[in-house]
C-alpha cells in the first residue's frame, strides 16, 4: 500500500513542489494549509503536473482540534511540516505572531504525532541558524549562531523543541533539513513562488523587474569582502530541494536512520554572488535587467554556502540542476503568471 504523507503548508512554494515529487515517487499526500501565504489555485497546478487531485484541508496548524480531525481521519506514515511564517522583516515587527505561528504549529504537530502513533517528521529548517559563520562552507557541525531575527529564532527554537521531544519520546523520529536559498520553479511552469506584495527575496524581485512590475532591482551592497563585492549565497533549485524531502521520508519510513534526530544541509555547495545571479539571469533569458547598486541591507549576511557532503553521502541526494536552468525556470514561471493574468 502506498505510504501517506501529511504535508503542512502544502500549497506554499516549497510544499507544492514537494507534493509533486512525493506523488511522482508513489506517495499519497494530504495537504493542510491555512492559505495565509498561498492560493488554493496552486492545487490546479499540482493536478496539471501529476494528473492527481490531492486531498486539501484549509486548516490552521495552530488549531489543535482542527488538526486532530485530520490526523484521526487519515493515518499518516510521515509528516512534512512546512507551515510557518517566513518573512524576516515582518518577524521583527510582529514577533509574537511569529513565535505563536511557528512554535505552536510545530508543538501541535508533535503532540498529534504522539497521540496518533505517527513516527516520522521532516522539518523545514534554514541556513539562517548558522548566521555569519567564521568558516565557509558550513557543515552540520558548524556551530549555530544566535539568531538575528524572531523568524531565525523560531528555527533555532523549533530545532530545539524537536531535539528535546525526540530525546524524551522514543516513538518520534525527525529529520531537519536546513535549506539554503531555494529558487526557481517547476520546469512545467505550472507552480512556482507566489510572493505577496513587494518581494523581499532576490529572485522574485529579479523576475518582477524583468517583467516590468518593478522599475528597478536594487543590489544591496558591492563593498563586501567577496570577489565582486556583492553578497554570496547558495541558491538551490526548488525541485532539487523538494526531492530531498522524498529521500528523507524514504529514509525514515524505511528504517534507515542512524539517529532518531538527524540534520542535513540542503544546498548545492556552490556560493554565487548577487551580481553573478543578475548576470546569469540576463544571459540565460537573453534580456537586460534594470538594476543599480545601493547600500547594504541591514542584517544581511556577507556570505554563506553549504557543505552538502553529509546529505550527498548519507541521503544519497545531490543538487542536480544548474543555476542557468534554475534561472530560466524562474523566468518561465514569471511569464506564465503574466499570461494567466492577461487572460
Residues near ligand WQD (CB under 6 A) are 86, 88, 126, 128, 181, 200-202, 205, 217-220, 231, 233, 274, 297, 300
Return the residue nearest ligand NAD (CB atom): 12
How many angstroms from the chain centroid is the CA of residue 278? 22
Which stretches does DSSP call E strand in 184-295?
217-220, 232-233, 235-237, 261-266, 272-273, 291-294
Q: Which of 151, 179, 224, 291 is catalytic?
A: 151
Query: What CA–CA distances, in Å, run from 148 to 36, 62, 124, 135, 166?
Result: 24, 25, 18, 19, 26
- Closest by CA to 22, choosing from 40, 35, 3, is 3
- Closest by CA to 287, choosing from 321, 334, 222, is 334
Q: 327 Cβ partners below 8 Å, 6+ apart?
A: 183, 184, 203, 277, 280, 281, 284, 285
Choose from ligand WQD, ligand NAD, none: what does 274 bind? Cβ within 5-8 Å by kind.
Answer: ligand WQD
For residue 11, state whether it binds ligand NAD (rule: CB under 6 A).
yes
Nearest approach, Cβ of 261 to ligand NAD (angstroms)?
Answer: 17
What's the rounded Cα separation, in Å, for the pair 254 and 266? 20
For residue 35, state whether it binds ligand NAD (rule: CB under 6 A).
yes
For residue 21, state whether it binds ligand NAD (rule: CB under 6 A).
no
For residue 244, state whether it binds ligand NAD (rule: CB under 6 A).
no
What's the rounded Cα separation, in Å, for the pair 156 and 264? 14
Span near ligand NAD by CB under 6 A; candidates 56-64, 218-226, 245-253, 292-300: 56-64
Please identify, using beta-carbon distances, which residue of 48 and 297 lies nearer to ligand WQD. Answer: 297
What's the rounded Cα separation, in Å, for the pair 227 and 232? 9
13 is known as an active-site residue: no
HSE, side-chain direction, 13 A CA sphere, residue 273: 16
For residue 84, state whether it binds ligand NAD (rule: CB under 6 A).
yes
Choose from ligand WQD, ligand NAD, none: what does 200 bind? Cβ within 5-8 Å by kind.
Answer: ligand WQD
Nearest approach, Cβ of 17 to ligand WQD (angstroms)?
Answer: 15
For residue 131, state whether it binds ligand NAD (rule: CB under 6 A).
no
Query: What CA–CA distances, in Å, run from 59 to 9, 113, 125?
Result: 10, 16, 22
For residue 62, state whether it binds ligand NAD (rule: CB under 6 A).
yes
For residue 9, state whether it binds ligand NAD (rule: CB under 6 A).
yes
What's the rounded Cα separation, in Å, for the pair 69 and 80? 17
Nearest approach, Cβ of 341 to ligand NAD (angstroms)?
Answer: 19
Nearest approach, Cβ of 53 to ligand WQD (angstroms)?
Answer: 30
Q: Which residues bind ligand NAD (CB under 6 A)?
A: 8-9, 11-15, 32-38, 60-62, 82-86, 101, 105, 124, 126, 179, 181-182
> Known catalytic residues?
151
Amino acid at each position: 500500500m502506498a505510504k501517506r504523507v501529511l504535508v503542512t503548508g502544502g500549497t506554499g512554494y516549497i510544499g507544492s513542489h514537494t507534493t509533486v515529487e512525493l506523488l511522482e515517487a508513489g506517495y499519497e499526500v494530504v495537504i493542510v494549509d491555512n492559505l495565509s501565504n498561498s492560493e488554493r489555485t496552486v492545487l490546479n497546478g499540482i493536478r496539471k503536473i501529476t494528473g492527481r487531485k490531492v486531498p486539501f484541508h484549509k486548516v490552521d496548524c495552530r488549531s489543535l482540534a482542527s488538526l486532530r480531525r485530520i490526523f484521526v481521519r487519515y493515518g499518516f506514515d510521515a509528516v512534512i511540516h512546512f507551515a510557518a511564517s517566513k518573512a524576516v522583516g515582518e518577524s521583527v515587527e510582529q514577533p509574537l505572531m511569529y513565535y505563536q505561528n511557528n512554535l505552536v504549529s510545530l508543538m501541535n504537530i508533535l503532540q498529534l504525532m504522539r497521540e496518533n502513533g505517527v513516527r516520522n517528521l521532516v522539518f523545514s529548517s534554514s541556513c539562517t541558524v548558522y548566521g555569519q559563520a567564521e568558516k565557509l562552507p558550513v557543515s552540520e557541525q558548524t556551530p549555530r549562531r544566535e539568531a538575528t531575527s524572531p523568524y531565525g529564532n523560531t528555527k533555532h527554537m523549533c530545532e530545539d523543541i524537536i531535539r528535546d521531544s525526540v530525546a524524551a519520546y522514543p516513538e518520534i523520529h525527525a529529520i531537519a533539513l536546513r535549506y539554503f536559498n531555494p529558487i526557481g520553479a517547476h520546469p512545467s511552469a505550472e507552480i512556482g513562488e507566489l510572493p505577496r506584495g513587494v518581494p523581499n527575496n532576490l529572485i522574485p524581485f529579479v523576475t518582477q523587474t524583468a517583467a516590468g512590475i518593478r522599475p528597478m532591482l536594487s543590489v544591496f551592497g558591492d563593498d563586501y569582502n567577496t570577489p565582486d563585492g556583492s553578497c554570496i549565497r547558495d541558491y538551490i533549485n526548488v525541485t532539487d530541494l523538494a526531492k530531498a524531502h522524498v529521500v528523507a521520508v524514504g529514509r525514515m519510513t524505511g528504517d534507515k536512520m542512524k539517529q532518531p534526530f538527524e540534520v542535513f544541509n540542503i544546498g548545492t555547495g556552490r556560493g554565487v554572488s548577487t551580481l553573478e545571479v543578475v548576470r546569469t539571469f540576463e544571459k540565460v533569458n537573453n534580456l537586460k535587467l534594470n538594476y543599480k547598486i545601493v547600500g547594504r541591507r541591514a542584517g544581511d549576511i556577507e556570505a554563506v554556502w553549504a557543505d552538502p557532503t553529509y546529505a550527498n553521502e548519507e541521503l544519497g541526494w545531490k543538487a542536480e540542476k544548474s543555476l542557468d536552468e534554475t534561472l530560466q525556470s524562474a523566468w518561465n514561471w514569471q511569464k506564465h503568471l503574466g499570461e494567466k493574468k492577461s487572460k
